[in-house]
């Protein structure tokens, strides 16, 4: 699947490091070369609110990685083993990740469990994931030992042991040995395992080789005109492709610094990102759409006194549909603080293609088109006329080098020009299939094309992404499967069994979607309805899902699908029309 | 102890009729109070009491008791 190097990456104006992606190169050899060529240059700045940042240079990062690698090998980790990393974001996470690669093993960063999630649910999720991903070891904190320990001893699990690397003493002597006998990695060896979204326990594992990642970041670096004076800043989680590939691997491979902020800290104090940009003179960041709203609306003026965003040349909106209003509001709020209107851009990306598929041109405001909303709902792309409700769609750009995009109809034939359809992709950095999941692979991968399940259209070669084929709810960049929500709340007493649906509701304030439930019930008193709403919300909480709206409706209100089950789409449309009617109770 | 006016500000923001809240209660135990709504709850409390919390103060909160003590320190 891999293709050769593109020559124009090596133009002198870009001043890229020499030899990225050469025939024998691996990510590990690239990191070692960076450490040798620029030992004292900053590699990762771990940014923490209210404390001094922890600063890794390329040499200190690699030295720490070698120490951790020796300890991993000593504890039985072998070449090809999959090591899940489940840790809070902290300064040791980065060398530990590199250490797994140094040992020839495969890192897979997984989300730290949400405190609401019931421990049994979390464990079941990891167990399900382990069967597909073939997890061998879990590197975690002592806090999770009681929850995860049963997975080591239980039958049917692939997990051989838990390790607690944050408790390890350094092994300098051993790391010297690793330096003298580096791992004999080759470019086709697997580098990492990242997970695409899926219902709980069924996340789809994507295995990527050193070569695939090196090639992809090289192509993407070209698409965003990366230079060695760039400085990346990110609050994104590393279990997501945007955080892992764009904001972590890309700078590490190109030998430029990245500032990493704990996602939990950022969401509690969104101005942390602005503070980091100002103090570190950062130039490039990636944000899901809701983050534009969080910062435009939830940061107080008092927190902006010293903010200066003039260093920022590129903000890439990626991982949920781009909303025009979010860019407008962000610009209005931050232009007085030095934000350049031309810094906005958008990208369409996914784990299955390593990361990016398309990217808008750099230094140009992304194209926006005003379309007839009603026509768009019928799958037709038509310009809006006066007095008709419009939907403004923002471009995600053209395919980056090595990628192609088609819009297809339900039979996977090319859709007529001007039609909305499913986005199909072929990419030089395409995955070869989900690990141990042939049936899911067969559903989405056919003749070298990946059928994304996303809906969109093209205008003059630019891709516009407007939604999902399936009923997935995208909340703040996270894909939530309605089946998971329905399972979580399906057993709540007084909801008629099997008679509820989970749907997406647009949340304009958040710049994203939230989860809503429509449930049939026979109860009618206000007191009972309020108490039922609370029971539904609590049932979602136990599965780590926030239910923002509950609609209670009388028996036989939900629209049935042809299979006789409640139809999410049909019921959602009915709700939009009938929301004001007295038979619909909302809370 | 969580005073009624703080409890009221929190419940109001989260659209809850009532919920048991004491010193040790954490955000994760209150329906609707997740990482995305956290900033809304903090802004609502600031508005209700005419106070301002810094990022560092917000990041150090572990329980609603901590929030009450921080609020008390601001109100003198």
pLDDT digits (tens, 9 = 90+) for A214-247: 999 999 999 999 999 999 999 999 999 999 999 9
Q: What mean pLDDT, rounded, does chain A reach?
A: 90
Question: Whose CA is closest to A463, among A377, A381, A390, A353?
Answer: A381
Name the β-bridge partners of A403: A427
* Cβ burial A283-320 (10 Å sphere, 16+ → b, else e): bbbbbbbbbbbbbbbbbeeebbeebebebbbbbbbbbb
Percentage of chain A modeled with pLDDT above 70? 93
**Domain annotation covers residue A268:** no
**Domain annotation covers residue A241:** no
Instruction: Provide mean pLDDT across the span A275-282.
Output: 98
Confidence of residue A2 (pLDDT cuts 50, 70, 90): very low
In this structure, the answer to whether residues A424 and A482 fall within a common structural domain is no
Confidence of residue A248 (pLDDT cuts 50, 70, 90): very high
- In a 3-state reduction of DSSP, which class is residue A334? helix
Provide ipTM, 2 decimals: 0.93
B contact set with A (CB within 8 A): 15-17, 26, 28, 31-32, 34-40, 42-43, 52, 54-56, 58-60
CATH code of the domain containing A540: 3.30.300.30
Question: Whose CA is closest to A416, among A461, A447, A381?
Answer: A381
Confidence (pLDDT) at A11: 30
List the domain range (segments joined by +) for residue B31.
4-75
User: How far away is chain A from the Cα of B1, in angstroms, using its nearest Cα?
Assistant: 23
8 Å CB contact of B34 and A546: yes
Considering its fold, how many domains does chain A have in total?
A: 2
Nearest CB partner across the interface for B36, out of A267, A530, A537: A267
Q: Which residues of A touch B55 (CB under 8 A)?
A: 49-50, 269, 271-272, 275, 303
8 Å CB contact of A270 and B32: no
Confidence (pLDDT) at A14: 38
CATH code of the domain containing A423: 2.30.38.10
User: Are the C-beta atoms of A466 and A321 separated by less than 8 Å?
Assistant: yes
In this structure, the answer to whether residues A463 and A524 fall within a common structural domain is no
In this structure, the answer to whether residues A537 and A453 fall within a common structural domain is no
Confidence of residue A50 (pLDDT cuts 50, 70, 90): confident
Residue of chain B with shortest Cα separation from A264 = B35
In this structure, the answer to whether residues A484 and A548 fall within a common structural domain is yes
Beta strands in A54-115 (DSSP E): 54-57, 82-86, 106-109
**Domain annotation covers residue A261:** no
Helix (H) or strand (E) holding A135: strand A135-140
In this structure, the answer to whether residues A450 and A528 fall within a common structural domain is no
Confidence (pLDDT) at A7: 29
**Domain annotation covers residue A504:** yes
User: How far away is chain B from the Cα of A239, in angstroms, using its nearest Cα?
Assistant: 17
User: How far away is chain A from the Cα of B17, in angstroms, using its nearest Cα?
Assistant: 8
8 Å CB contact of B39 and A268: yes
User: How far away is chain B from the Cα of A18, in angstroms, using its nearest Cα?
Assistant: 41
Question: Whose CA is closest to A353, among A303, A306, A285, A405?
Answer: A405
Q: Which residues of B touch A49 (CB under 8 A)?
A: 55-56, 59
**Domain annotation covers residue A317:** no
Helix (H) or strand (E) holding A32: helix A27-37
Instruction: Provide mean pLDDT across the span A182-190.
Output: 86
CATH code of the domain containing B36: 1.10.1200.10
8 Å CB contact of A267 and B16: no
pLDDT digits (tens, 9 = 90+) for A483-542: 889 988 988 999 998 899 999 999 999 999 999 999 999 999 999 999 999 999 999 998
User: How far away is chain A from the Cα of B27, in angstroms, using its nearest Cα?
Assistant: 9
Confidence (pLDDT) at A5: 27
Instruction: Provide mean pLDDT across the span A378-397.
Output: 90
Considering its fold, how many domains does chain B have in total?
A: 1
Instruction: Provide mean pLDDT across the span A106-125.
Output: 90
Q: Which residues of B touch A549 (CB under 8 A)?
A: none
Confidence (pLDDT) at A10: 28
Confidence of residue A425 (pLDDT cuts 50, 70, 90): very high
Instruction: Locate A104 and state its tokens.
Output: 């020839």
pLDDT digits (tens, 9 = 90+) for B27-54: 999 999 999 999 999 999 999 999 999 9
Residue of chain B with shortest Cα separation from A477 = B36
Confidence of residue B76 (pLDDT cuts 50, 70, 90): confident
Confidence (pLDDT) at A280: 98
8 Å CB contact of B39 and A267: yes
In this structure, the answer to whether residues A478 and A493 fall within a common structural domain is yes
pLDDT digits (tens, 9 = 90+) for A63-98: 999 999 999 999 999 999 999 999 999 999 999 999
**Domain annotation covers residue A218:** no
8 Å CB contact of A264 and B37: no
A contact set with B (CB within 8 A): 49-50, 114-116, 264-265, 267-272, 275, 290, 294, 298, 300, 302-303, 475-476, 510, 530, 534, 537-538, 541, 546, 548, 587
Nearest CB partner across the interface for A49, out of B32, B43, B55: B55
Please spell the DSSP secondary structure of A411-441, one letter per residue: TSSBPPTTB-EEEEEEETT--S--TT-HHHH
**Domain annotation covers residue A167:** no
> Which range is least confidently modeled, A148-152, A175-179, A278-282, A551-555?
A175-179
Q: Please determine, for residue A578, whether its predicted confidence score (pLDDT) is greater than 80.
A: no
Confidence of residue A315 (pLDDT cuts 50, 70, 90): very high
Which of residues A302 and A250 earns the better pLDDT score?
A: A250
In this structure, the answer to whether residues A566 and A464 fall within a common structural domain is no
Confidence (pLDDT) at A115: 85
pLDDT digits (tens, 9 = 90+) for A192-215: 999 887 766 678 899 999 999 999
pLDDT digits (tens, 9 = 90+) for A134-163: 899 999 999 999 999 988 877 667 899 999
Instruction: Provide mean pLDDT across the span A543-564.
Output: 90
User: How far away is chain B from the Cα of A273, in angstroms, using its nearest Cα?
Assistant: 12
8 Å CB contact of B35 and A268: yes
Domain boundary among A468, A497, A530: A468
List the domain range (segments joined by +) for residue A395.
367-468
> Which residue of A89, A236, A267 is the best one to mutate when testing the B interface, meaning the one whose CB has the most B CBs within 10 A?
A267
**Domain annotation covers residue A499:** yes
Q: Please determine, for residue A34, whether its predicted confidence score (pLDDT) is greater than 50.
A: yes
Q: Please determine, for residue A171, whether its predicted confidence score (pLDDT) is greater than 70.
A: no
Confidence (pLDDT) at A374: 87
Confidence of residue A356 (pLDDT cuts 50, 70, 90): very high
8 Å CB contact of B36 and A510: yes
Instruction: Locate A157 and state its tokens.
Output: 């699990």
């Amino acid at each position: 699947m891999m293709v050769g190097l593109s020559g124009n990456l090596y133009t002198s104006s870009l001043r890229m490091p020499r030899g990225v992606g050469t025939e024998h190169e691996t990510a590990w050899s690239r990191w070692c070369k960076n450490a040798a060529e620029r030992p004292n240059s900053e590699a990762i700045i771990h940014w923490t609110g209210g404390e001094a940042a922890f600063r890794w240079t390329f040499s200190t990062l690699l030295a720490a990685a070698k120490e951790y690698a020796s300890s991993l090998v000593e504890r039985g980790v072998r070449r090809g083993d999959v090591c899940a990393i489940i840790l809070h974001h902290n300064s040791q996470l980065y060398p530990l990740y590199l250490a797994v690669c140094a040992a020839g093993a495969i890192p897979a960063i997984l989300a730290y469990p949400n405190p609401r999630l019931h421990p049994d649910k979390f464990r079941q999720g990891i167990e399900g994931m382990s069967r597909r991903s073939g997890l061998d070891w879990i590197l975690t904190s002592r806090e999770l030992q009681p929850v995860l320990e049963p997975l080591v001893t239980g039958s049917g699990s692939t997990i051989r042991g838990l390790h607690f690397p944050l408790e390890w003493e350094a092994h300098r002597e051993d790391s010297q040995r690793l330096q003298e006998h580096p791992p004999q990695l080759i470019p086709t060896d697997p580098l990492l395992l990242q997970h695409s979204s899926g219902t709980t326990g069924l996340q789809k594992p994507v295995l990527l080789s050193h070569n695939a990642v090196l090639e992809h970041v090289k192509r993407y670096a070209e698409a965003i005109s990366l230079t060695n004076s760039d400085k990346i800043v990110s609050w994104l989680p590393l279990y997501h492709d945007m955080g892992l590939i764009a904001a972590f691997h890309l700078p590490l491979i190109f030998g430029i610094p990245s500032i990493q902020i704990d996602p939990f800290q950022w969401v509690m104090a969104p101005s942390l990102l602005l503070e980091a940009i100002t103090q570190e003179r950062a130039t490039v960041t990636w944000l899901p759409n809701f983050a534009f709203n969080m910062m435009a609306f939830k940061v107080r003026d008092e927190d902006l006194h010293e903010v200066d965003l003039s260093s920022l040349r590129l903000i890439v909106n990626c991982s949920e549909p781009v909303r025009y209003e979010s860019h407008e509001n962000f610009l209005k709020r931050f232009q007085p603080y030095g934000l350049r209107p031309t810094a906005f851009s958008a990208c369409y990306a996914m784990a299955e293609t390593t990361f990016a598929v398309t990217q808008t041109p750099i230094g140009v405001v992304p194209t926006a088109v005003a379309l007839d909303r009603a026509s768009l709902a019928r799958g037709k792309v038509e310009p809006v006329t006066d007095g008709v409700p419009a939907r403004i769609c923002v471009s995600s750009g053209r395919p980056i080098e090595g990628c192609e995009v088609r819009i297809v109809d339900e039979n996977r034939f090319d859709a007529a020009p001007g039609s909305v359809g499913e986005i199909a992709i072929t990419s030089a950095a395409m995955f070869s299939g989900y690990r141990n999941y042939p049936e899911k692979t067969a559903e989405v991968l056919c003749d070298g094309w990946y059928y994304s399940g996303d809906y969109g259209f093209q205008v003059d070669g630019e891709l516009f992404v407007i939604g999902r084929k399936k009923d997935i709810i995208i909340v703040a960049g996270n894909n939530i499967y309605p089946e998971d929500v329905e399972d979580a709340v399906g057993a709540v007493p007084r909801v008629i069994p099997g008679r509820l649906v989970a749907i997406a509701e647009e949340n304009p304030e958040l710049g994203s979607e939230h989860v809503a439930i429509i449930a049939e019930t026979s109860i009618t008193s206000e007191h009972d309805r309020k108490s039922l709403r609370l029971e539904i919300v609590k049932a979602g909480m136990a599965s780590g899902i926030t239910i923002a709206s509950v609609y209670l409706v009388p028996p036989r209100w939900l629209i049935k699908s042809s299979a006789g089950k409640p139809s999410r789409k049909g019921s959602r449309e009915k709700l939009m029309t009938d929301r004001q009617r007295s038979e619909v109770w909302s809370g | 102890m969580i005073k009624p006016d703080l409890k009221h500000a929190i419940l109001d923001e989260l659209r809850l009729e009532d919920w048991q809240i004491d010193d040790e209660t954490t955000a994760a135990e209150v329906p609707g109070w997740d990482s995305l709504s956290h900033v809304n709850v903090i802004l609502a409390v600031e508005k209700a009491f005419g106070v301002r919390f810094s990022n560092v103060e917000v990041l150090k909160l572990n329980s609603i008791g901590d929030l009450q003590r921080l609020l008390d320190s601001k109100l003198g």
